[in-house]
Amino acid sequence: MAEIRAKAITMAAITVAFGLLVAALSTCTTARSAGDDSARTPDGTRAPEVPLERRITGFTAGLDPGADYREPRRAERRAVAHAVGLVLDGHPDRARPLLADVGFRLRTLTDTGTGRRYAELADRTGDGPDPRGWARVYVDLAAPVRWSVQVPHPVSDADTERLGARVLLGSPGGVLVLAGAHRRAGDGDAADAAHRTDSVFDAVCDELARRGLPGVQIHGFADGSAPGRDVVASTGTGRAGRPDARRLAAALTARHFSVCRAWVRDCPLEGRDNVQGRGAATERVPFLHIEFARSVRASDGQIRNAVAAIGTVTARWAADGAG
């Protein structure tokens, strides 16, 4: 009888232990699933993990001044801009058919460096250059969008695409608007995104300005164009960004950059004919037009310093928007 009772006690102990093991495994699985949810796309599938900076610079590496460029029709420009707005408002499913109608696609990607999710709006022909040369847009999905970084002359202004990608990744709540063609592509200045209002690039920037999102636009100049200067900082034709421009100039100076401040004295390359700057001025939205010397853009260490300085402004924009 004692032997039977001992066996029963042993079996009960085994049952309890097994139950605790199952419960622990269940808790672990639930926790892991909850962690995965932050890296999933709206349709529930896991977002592909990519080094986003490398993806962006891989795309721009294929941009060629001799490539074709097709000017988008007004309806096409408006469709992409409206789709960006829908993504910002949390309605990607409504954005997808709009994009599909104009040959774009919407993907969700997880950056391997930051772990944050980004929406990519791009030509659906593949991961190479867009044969029409329109634009690419990256939207931070991990935080409310509060600001934009704009790169109208990738490759032509060498390494501005690297700067733009790192600015996007450096602070939460950003949108990167990237021109889809070399500025010399097509005929004449058709693909010069900073000086044309009939581009997808400009339509998206207009949508962001209409929503009150401040922006920083990144350019590059040959060292001889502004001798003795590393950076030319301007607010274009507007005045709304003056406090932000002063803050950025101070941050750049603290990192040993020589900055020409266009609101203090005449500087070359002030960007007063920049059409995105004019659009932002019309909306009374802060706009910073920043030119970096080639020697800055040629140094990875200087790029890091430049991105850190810009981050003092974008982080503040994110914080101010959240408040």
HSE, side-chain direction, 13 A CA sphere, residue 297: 23
pLDDT value at residue 6: 47
For 43-84, the pLDDT digits (tens) are 555 789 999 999 999 999 999 999 999 999 999 999 999 999
Q: Where are the domains of the chain?
A: 1-37, 49-322
Beta carbons of 179 and 151 less than 8 angstroms apart: yes
Please name the fold of domain 49-322.
Aminopeptidase (3.40.630)
pLDDT value at residue 322: 53
Instruction: For CA atoms 104, 108, 111, 117, give the dihedral sign.
Output: positive
- Vertex 283: Cα angle to 161 and 119 (nearest 5): 40
For 195-219, the pLDDT digits (tens) are 999 999 999 999 999 999 999 999 9
Beta carbons of 156 and 126 less than 8 angstroms apart: no
How far is it, in rounded angstroms, from Cα 297 to Cα 220? 8
pTM: 0.86
